[in-house]
Amino acid sequence: MSTAIVIGGGMGGLASAALLGKHGYSVTLLEKNALLGGRANYFEAEGFRFDMGPSWYLMPDVFEHFFALMGERVEDHLQLQRLDPSYRIAFRGTDRTVDMYSDLSRDVATFEALEPGSGQALRDYLGRAEEQYGIAIEQFMYRNHDSMFDFLDRKTAMQGIALHVFENMHSYISRSFHTDAVQKILEYQLVFLGSSPYATPALYNIMSHIDFNLGVFYPQGGIYSIVRAMAAIGSSHGVQYRTEAPVAEILAEGGRAAGVRVASGEELRADLVVANADMHHTETELLPKKARTHSARSWVRRTLAPSAFILYLGLKGRVPSLTHHNLGFGQDWRRNFAEIFDSPAWSDDPSYYVCAPSRTDPTAAPEGHENLFVLVPVAPGLPMTDADIATYRRRALDLLAEDFDVPDVEERIVFERTYTSRDFTADYNAYGGSALGLAHTMRQTLFRPNNVSKKLPNLYYVGAGTSPGIGMPICLISAEMVYKRIIGDRRPGPLPV
């Protein structure tokens, strides 16, 4: 029986381990932390349960496909609830708050109220986004690309043009929508990709199809229930999980990966290795210099997705002004993105996100209490002192009170934990303290780090640092791409079930 070692138990690592286990490999997954899940971690405190990272269940079709590949059904593992509304938006500097429903008739009415005449434009825009999503799924997202030559056949080139690869999102959206509020609604999803609408290729208008057409869901019990389901499926195919087992080195012998050495000194041998650890950490810390694909200089040139300033708050009493997902939009959109990507600074007018899962899931907080996850995107690598953290905590609470009418939030806090770029680095070896990995800029979409080592042909990379990119469902696709590479399947599109 062939053997495989997976380094890291994030979504990509769990999915890769499960796929390899199902197809006959003896798989050992090594995770440095006490719990599986990577950034999709959780913790409990004083009766509250906090999902620590991802909180949106999007692209249900991708989850359904992956579970089907494993011979499973999503509904046998997860109790999904479609959110209604999908999310709420507060526009700072106005008294305007709007709800979006992933229901075209209701959302068209909202757009018309914000920008008369934009309703039909939204229908047309989402129709194109749906078509382009189909092209992306069938021709690009599940396909391993090794060079620009893979794009040069006529069909692929024409479809790439149809996806508006060489136009940025803000320019693309501005051709159809003209008011600040509407443009922001169609651009905010890019934060999920760790990028700016002024630098992200317009092919990511497919995010609007994912949002408006496919809907937003929540798995009862929290996002960590997905991790539990993935681990259970892997276990059913023989995957062995070892937590609190940080890998210290990938062993390179005879031009191949021979296995790993864990921090305890134990060596484990395998026929192939899949690294779900942060790619920068893998390349610069786990591999000997001669076995590295990417030079130290190349990492300096890369654009990182934002880090995050996070408050996990347990509040006494309910907060009816919030729904499950809430977005507070700053007034100067372009300046805020520049403070994240171009001239790193603590913004005094940030956009931010508040998740209140206890609005949907009573198990997330004690009765009569509210569970809040407040996330403010900040520049990766931003210098941070304890005084900075204290100041920004105050700013985040003030914005929450102002934008979502929670004036007594400070007095109602019964539990609080702060999480910053320092913690992303300590917990996940995150390069630059990024909360997500590599941003989806134009260049890093077309030339994302490959999922196989150029130096060790049986060393593979999976997760947000490689193709196709950031997000839980995207990491499931990443695992399928790694498996396709291992078995030599070069066809575009998802594997047949």
- The pLDDT score that the predictor gives to residue 152 is 47
For residue 60, is the peptide bond before it cis, meaning its omega torsion is within 30 degrees of 0? no
Question: Rounded CA gap, 442 and 387, in Å?
Answer: 36
Domain harbouring 290, CATH code: 3.50.50.60
Q: Let me know whether 227 and 206 are in one domain.
A: no
Structurally, how many domains does the chain consist of?
2
Domain match, 246 and 296 both: yes
- Residue 443 binned pLDDT confidence (cut-offs 50, 70, 90): confident
The answer as to whether 65 is a domain residue is: no
Whether the predicted pLDDT of 344 surpasses 50: yes
Q: Are residues 186 and 266 in the same domain?
A: no
Domain extent for 473:
3-46+222-301+440-487
Assess whether 203 and 118 both reside in one domain: yes
pTM of the model: 0.95
Residue-wise pLDDT tens digits, 91-136: 999 989 999 999 999 999 999 999 999 999 999 999 999 999 999 9
pLDDT at residue 417 in the model: 98
Q: How confident is the model at residue 190 (pLDDT cuts 50, 70, 90)?
A: confident
Longest dimension (CA), the chain: 66
| 226 and 279 inside one domain | yes
Domain boundary among 213, 234, 267: 213
Supply the pLDDT for residue 295. Answer: 86
Residue 181 maps to a domain: yes
Q: Would 156 be classed as within a structural domain? A: yes
Mean pLDDT of 253-273: 97
Using alpha carbons only, how large is the chain's radius of gyration in Å?
22
Same domain for 107 and 128, yes or no, is: yes
For 66-81, what is the mean pLDDT? Answer: 98
179 assigned to some structural domain: yes
172's tokens: 């693309």
- 182-216 in b/e form (b: 16+ CB < 10 A) is bbbbbbbbbbbbbbbbbbbbbbbbbbbbbbbebbb
pLDDT tens column, 466-489: 999 999 999 999 999 999 999 999
Kindly report the average pLDDT of the chain as a whole number. 93
pLDDT grade for 160, boundaries at 50, 70 and 90: low
Asked if 200 and 230 sit in the same domain, the reply is no
**Residue 39 binned pLDDT confidence (cut-offs 50, 70, 90):** very high
Output the six-digit token pair for 433: 């303290």
Same domain, yes or no, for 190 and 167? Answer: yes
Give domain status of residue 327, yes or no.
no
Dihedral of CA atoms 264, 279, 380, 38 in degrees, nearest 10, equals -60
- pLDDT at residue 111, rounded to an integer: 97
Question: Based on the domain organization, do 185 and 265 belong to the same domain?
Answer: no
Confidence bin at 140 (pLDDT 50/70/90): confident
318, 367 in Cβ contact below 8 A? no
Whichever domain contains 199, its CATH number is 1.10.405
Residue 262 lies in a domain: yes
Whether the per-residue pLDDT at 291 is higher than 90: the answer is yes
At 282 the pLDDT is 97
pLDDT category, 330, cuts 50, 70, 90?
A: very high
Q: Which of 180, 213, 246 is the last residue of a domain?
A: 213
Q: Determine how many CB atoms are found less than 10 A away from the CB of residue 473.
A: 21
Q: Domain check: are 197 and 244 in the same one?
A: no
**In-domain check, residue 88:** no
pLDDT of residue 189: 85
What's the rounded mean pLDDT across residues 168-176? 91
- Kindly tell me if the per-residue pLDDT of 199 is higher than 90: no
Q: Looking at residue 363, what DSSP letter applies? A: G
| Of 213, 233, 266, the domain-final residue | 213
* Residue at 188 is within a domain: yes
Q: What is the pLDDT of residues 212-237, one digit of tens each?
A: 999 999 999 999 999 999 999 999 99
Pair 184, 227 in one domain:
no
Between CA 398 and CA 203 the distance in angstroms is 36
Q: What is the mean pLDDT of residues 66-77?
A: 98
Dihedral angle, C-alpha 319, 352, 334, 432, nearest 10 °: 180
Length of the chain: 497
Full DSSP string of 186-243: HHGGGGGGT--TTTSBGGGGHHHIIIIIT--EEETT-THHHHHHHHHHHHHTT-EEE-
- pLDDT at res. 159: 52
Mean pLDDT of 196-211: 88
pLDDT in tens, 372-411: 999 999 999 898 899 999 999 999 999 999 999 999 999 9
Residues 183 and 107 placed together within one structural domain of the fold: yes
